[in-house]
Amino acid sequence: MQNRYFIISAVVALLFVGAVVGYAIPEEKQEVPARIILDNTGGRVVFSHRTHADDYGADCADCHHDGLEGREYLPCGACHPAEFDETFRREHPKAFPDKEACLRCHDEVPTGPLPEDERPDIESIPTRGEAFHSLCMGCHEENGGPYGEDACYQCHAR
């Protein structure tokens, strides 16, 4: 009977040590994220970075047009908000690593809230949903991916 408890205790101890070691060893940082989830009104889209990069040969700059040499890409919502509301205007400046990025849309680096006549023309800047949809659908149409009204639910969850 004691032999049985010894075996169970040894197995539990090995599992515990394995869990601690697995938790303690940091995961290797992936150059390309495996996937991201895009929440939207058309239904969630699970986007596989790895599939698009490795299998389809997409380059980061094909989608991320904000890459500055030697820097990480900005989150899409830094420039393409869900909507141009007060929350976006307040949080937007915090999304950039330095003031140089401001000059992509602004004539000068803003030092505070901008008067209405000095703000970029938001009619020419697509919202996040418009930007994704245009980019994804354009690429799908060009490269034979799911495209058209009947193809929506090949990417969007119902």
The residues pairing with 139 across neighbouring beta strands, listed in sequence order, are none
Could you tell me where the beta strands, DSSP code E, fall in 13-139? 36-38, 45-47
d(CA 94, CA 110): 12
**Is 106 flagged in the annotation as binding?**
yes
- Dihedrals φ, ψ of 37, to 5°? -110, 125
152 is in an annotated binding site: no
Quick check: helix, strand or coil at residue 70? Answer: coil
Burial track 147-158 (b if 16+ CB lie within 10 A, e otherwise) = beeeeeeebbee
Is 155 assigned a ligand-binding role in the annotation? no
The two three-digit tokens of residue 86, written as one number: 């007060």
Does 133 show up as a binding residue in the annotation? no
- 119 token code pair: 């703000």
Residue 65 annotated as part of some ligand binding site: yes
Annotated binding site for heme c: 49, 52, 60, 63-65, 76, 79-80, 102, 105-106
Annotated binding site: 49, 52, 60, 63-65, 76, 79-80, 102, 105-106
